[in-house]
């Protein structure tokens, strides 16, 4: 089992203690150290092999998001904060997940599972996508590979071990998990709204607090995704 060396950067002792307890319950996470500010963590990142940072945003001296921007080759980062308004900026910095305090263990576990999916996606990406920076991908369906342009995707539906990709003129089913596809799509153009659905933001025709409309299709917004989705969609109107 692959091990992930991690550190916590958190100035609230109780919040740090909760994260320490959660990490201790995950066999493949190894907590190396806990810091109360980001500046003191910099030396550890330079001298040690750290795979994952649990990072608070509202830190003394150097704020969490500013800290990320100082890192040339940042490890995986999971934001832990009480402030939902920084979610869009955080995802623009390619974080793994954005956890709002108080953090339930079930939500923490979903973030860790997402981390594992991202790592898994990297190992299979070369067999799915044409090498280089492209605006399309090839996916396996039956005995052939089908070309999918990112700009043509309306939404993607999870079918457990498979995903169904919907475009305006076709539907393609391929053996991938939604998290693996999510890791490869342009983050600025696609949005996860439910554990079973990801959408192309530019293809949204209407939305409410409970669902998104793309053409004649009405897609639900999951309860655990609602706050983040609303924040991102409302910011996109400005």
- Residue pLDDT, tens place only, 65-83: 999 988 888 889 999 999 8
Catalogue all structural domains in the chain, each as residue range(s) with its CATH number.
4-119 (3.40.50.2300), 129-236 (2.40.50.1020)
> What's this model's pTM, rounded to 2 decimal places?
0.54
Which of residues 221 and 72 earns the better pLDDT score? Answer: 221
Judged by phi (left if over 0) then psi (alpha if -120 to 50, else beta), residue 132 lies in left
Render 179-196 in DSSP notation, one character per residue: HHHHHHS-TTTEEEEETT
Q: Would the pLDDT of 96 be above 80? A: yes
Is residue 34 predicted with pLDDT exceeding 80?
A: yes
Name the residue with higher pLDDT: 236 or 146: 146
Stretch 125-144: mean pLDDT, rounded?
Answer: 65
On whether the CB atoms of residues 5 and 49 are closer than 8 A, the answer is yes
* pLDDT at residue 38, rounded to an integer: 92
61 pLDDT higher than 50 = yes
Triad 184, 186, 192: Cα angle to 5°: 80
Please answer whether residues 45 and 75 qualify as being in contact, where contact means their C-beta atoms are separated by less than 8 angstroms.
yes
pLDDT band at 129 (very low <50, low <70, confident <90, very high): very low
Does 49 score more than 70 pLDDT? Answer: yes
User: Is pLDDT of 197 > 90?
Assistant: yes
Q: Cα–Cα distance between 171 and 216 in angstroms, integer?
A: 15
Q: Can you give the pLDDT at residue 205?
A: 95
Give the confidence band of 121 by pLDDT, cuts at 50, 70, 90: low
Tell me: pLDDT of 132 over 80: no
pLDDT band at 237; cut points 50, 70, 90: low
Q: Provide the percentage of residues in the chain whose pLDDT is more than 70.
A: 92
Residues facing residue 33 across a β-bridge? 7
The most confident of 40-49, 51-60, 111-120, 133-142, by mean pLDDT: 51-60
Helix (H, G, I), strand (E, B) or coil at 103: coil
- In this prediction, residue 236 has a pLDDT band, given cuts at 50, 70 and 90, of low
Evaluate whether 139 touches 146 at the Cβ level (below 8 Å): yes
């Amino acid at each position: 089992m692959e091990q992930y060396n991690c550190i916590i950067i958190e100035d609230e002792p109780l919040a740090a203690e909760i994260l320490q307890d959660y990490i201790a319950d995950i066999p493949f996470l190894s907590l190396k150290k806990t810091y109360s500010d980001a500046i003191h963590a910099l030396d550890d990142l330079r001298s040690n092999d750290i795979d994952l940072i649990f990072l608070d945003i509202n830190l003394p001296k150097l704020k969490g998001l500013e800290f990320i921007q100082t890192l040339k080759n940042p490890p995986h980062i999971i934001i832990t904060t009480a402030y939902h308004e920084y979610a869009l900026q955080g995802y623009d910095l390619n974080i793994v997940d954005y956890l709002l305090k108080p953090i339930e263990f079930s939500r923490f576990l979903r973030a860790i599972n997402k981390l594992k999916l991202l790592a898994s996606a990297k190992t299979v990406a070369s067999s799915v996508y044409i090498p280089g920076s492209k605006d399309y991908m090839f996916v396996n369906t039956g005995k052939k590979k089908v070309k999918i342009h990112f700009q043509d995707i309306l939404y993607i539906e999870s079918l457990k071990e498979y995903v169904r990709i919907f475009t305006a003129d076709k539907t393609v089913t391929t053996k991938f998990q939604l998290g693996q596809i999510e890791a490869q799509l342009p983050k600025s153009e696609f949005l996860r709204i439910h554990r079973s659905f990801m959408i192309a933001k530019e293809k949204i025709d209407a939305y409410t607090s409970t669902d998104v409309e793309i053409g004649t299709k009405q897609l639900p917004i999951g309860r655990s995704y609602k706050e983040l989705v609303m924040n991102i969609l409302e910011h996109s109107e400005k």
